[in-house]
Structure 1
Amino acid sequence: MYRINREKLLAVIREVDQAIYNHSQWYQNIIRSIVCRLPFDQRDMAEDAHHHCTFGQWYYHCSEKEMQENKTFQSIRGEHKQVHANAKLLLETSSRGEAISYIDYDNFANAVERLRLNLQTLKYELEETLYNRDPLTGVRNRISMLSDLRKQMDLIDRHVDTTVIAILDVDRFKQVNDTHGHPVGDLVLANIAAYILQHLRPYDNVYRYGGEEFLIMMPHTDVETAAAVIERIREGVAQMQTHMHNGETISVTISAGVTKLRDHHNIETAIEEADKALYEAKLGGRNKSVVSA
């Protein structure tokens, strides 16, 4: 799950587009040099050529932590290196005036295609994240929430996975807006979302469910473990301080309702159960979490 802000995400997508174009140009130049028997760039004969092409210079200097941890981004490393190794073999053969075997050419062409596929997949993942992200908090929005939950419910029905959802709500949030203004309220929500993201696993999903509500989906998790995670998040949020522009700080608390996705139930029922547990937490004095029975 990408946790880069929207502006950086847009910049990375533009970089990926440019990277795809640059490597396409490199590929065309390689083919042109071989077919037309033109002089080729000697840098393509180096053992570490993959570090020095235009694409490699971008790839190996991309410092975004979220990108470095992405599985597709990681898989590009090996494919890119293989493309250059295969290109080097073709250039060496061509420079000796020998015919290139169809096996060597096919290996090169297949490696190029695998690299292209990985790059297009990376771009798709970035764009999918961009269009399904809440611009204020950086978490996923409701556009994909129900779809994601239904996909997970399919696994539950087939007994392939166990999943827990939780709905978190900021206590007395209207008072924050009324007392300090909506910009401060927005800052509080953004800070809470950032804290939640920092304290979940990479494959957990967080959605902005309502104005001051967040829904968390935790796959591969039993309800006891999930409840403990939500409790730690609740305790951590209570200790947080949001610094306002006037130099003062504000603290808030959250309440939460937790429930397990059950087979042969629909998503709406599960969300309703989590909502009822959240309501119990509110009635019980707020700043607490309740697990649905």
Structure 2
Amino acid sequence: MYRIDREKLQAIIREIDQAIYNHGHWYQNLIRSIVCRLPFDERDIHEDAHHQCPFGQWYYSCDNKEIKKNMTFISIREEHKLTHNLARKLLLAASVEEIILPIDYDNFSNSVERLRLNLQALKYELEETLYNRDPLTGVKNRVSMLSDLRKQMTFIKRHLETTVIAIVDIDHFKQVNDNYGHPTGDLVLSNLASYILQHLRPYDSIYRYGGEEFLIMMPHTNIDTAFSIIERIRTGIENYQTHDHNDEYIRVTISAGMVNLEEQYNIETAIEQADKALYEAKTNGRNRSVVFK
């Protein structure tokens, strides 16, 4: 889950595009040198060739902490180093006019392809973050929500899934903004989104629905299980210190309304029903969960 400024994220995506181009250009020149028996770049047979190539210079100079924690970004490190080690083996054989074994070429070619696929996957993940995630909290945005819910509804109509949605709202959030300021309010929102995400199951999804509201989709779930999950999150947040403001911890509570996704309804109707259940939770004192009936 990234919380990166959109302009920085766009810049990183442009850098990855350039890195993909640079490595493709390096590959073409290397193959041309071997096939046509042309002089090659001496740096390509150094032990640290993976640091010296244009892609390596970008990769090892990347200082964005969030990107560096990305598993795809991490996996690129070893594959990129392997690609250069295999390239060095081919170049050294070609330089003394030895026959290059098919297995050596195949290993190199396969490594280049795996590296390319990893780079494309990293670019896709960052673009998904840029266009389909809320920049403040890092969770999915409303556009992704509607698309995912409609996909889920197709499974429900084929009787392949049982799914519950919940709308969660921070109680008296306006008071947080009024008393502590909007920057602190933003931190509270961001921290709560992280808390909820950490306490959902791996296949559940959370979306920024609007303002201080989040929608949670829980597939493979009946209403009783969903209620237990939301209640566990609600009580956890009630005791959670969300942000230290001038040595003062801020505590908030949430209310939630939930409903089964039913095949006879459309997505908009289901959201409206969850919203009605949320309204009931609010009018009955807040800091509670209500199932639509």
* Structure 1 CA distance for aligned equivalents of residues 15 and 221 of structure 2: 36
Could you tell me which residue of structure 2 aligns to residue 212 of structure 1?
Answer: 212
Residue identity (%): 64
| Residue-pair matches, total | 290
Quickly say closer, same or farther: Cα 1:42–1:182, change in 2 above 3 A: closer
| Contact preservation (8 Å) 1:6, 1:130 | no
SS in 2 for 1:143: helix
Larger mean Cα displacement after TM superposition, 244-253 or 272-281: 244-253
Could you tell me which residue of structure 1 aligns to residue 38 of structure 2?
Answer: 37
Alignment of 1:212-291 (within 5 A): 212-243=212-243, 245-291=245-291
Quickly say closer, same or farther: Cα 1:179–1:79, change in 2 above 3 A: closer
Larger mean Cα displacement after TM superposition, 174-183 or 234-243: 174-183
Could you tell me which residue of structure 2 aligns to residue 141 of structure 1?
Answer: 141
Show CA shifts across 1:123-180 (max 9, x none).
0221121122223322222122211211122223334444322110111223333444
* Structure 1 CA distance for aligned equivalents of residues 292 and 113 of structure 2: 49
Larger mean Cα displacement after TM superposition, 164-173 or 200-209: 200-209
Larger mean Cα displacement after TM superposition, 179-188 or 99-108: 99-108
Quickly say closer, same or farther: Cα 1:42–1:69, change in 2 above 3 A: closer
1:232 alignment partner AA: R
Cα shift at 1:12: 4.7
Q: Normalising to structure 1: TM-score of the pair?
A: 0.78
Could you tell me which residue of structure 2 aligns to residue 170 of structure 1?
Answer: 170
Quickly say closer, same or farther: Cα 1:234–1:60, change in 2 above 3 A: farther
Unaligned runs of 5+ in 1: none
Unaligned runs of 5+ in 2: none
Alignment of 1:55-74 (within 5 A): 55=55, 58=59, 64=65, 68=69, 70=71, 72-73=72-73
Quickly say closer, same or farther: Cα 1:92–1:161, change in 2 above 3 A: farther
CA RMSD, Structure 1 to Structure 2 (Å): 3.6
* Structure 2 CA distance for aligned equivalents of residues 64 and 42 of structure 1: 29
Could you tell me which residue of structure 2 aligns to residue 6 of structure 1?
Answer: 5
2:130 alignment partner AA: L
| Contact preservation (8 Å) 1:231, 1:289 | yes
